[in-house]
Homo-oligomer: A and B are copies of this chain.
């Protein structure tokens, strides 16, 4: 049985335009992110309502489980590259996982 140690980690959540998904995935690879989860979403923010229907009007919600430094590194990179021209929000929350080696 794997010893059941619990480890504190961060969950970085990015909610942004669906049209930059492939660009973000490329960024993640270069940033050494080895895992992420993407969910289709819709919503409203400063850049108006994006209630879906077709790609250029729908959002994606990306979760990345990582440690505090990676969370900082990724969010800063994404902030500098996309905040100015794209509809995007980023928040970081605390969480616990079983196997630290996985992330």
Q: Bound state CA distance, A25 and B25, in angstroms?
A: 31
Identical chains bound together, number: 3
Task: Assess the A39–B61 pair: CB atoms within 8 A.
Answer: yes
- Which A residues fall within an 8 A CB radius of B? 1-2, 4, 6, 9, 11, 13, 15, 25, 34-46, 59, 61, 63, 65, 75-76, 79-80, 83, 89-99, 102
Most buried by B among A1, A25, A89: A89
16 further contact pairs, Cβ within 8 A, besides A13-B95, A36-B43, A39-B39: A4-B79, A15-B37, A35-B45, A35-B46, A37-B43, A37-B61, A38-B42, A38-B43, A39-B40, A39-B41, A46-B102, A65-B91, A83-B99, A90-B97, A90-B98, A92-B95
A18 to chain B, nearest CB (A): 12
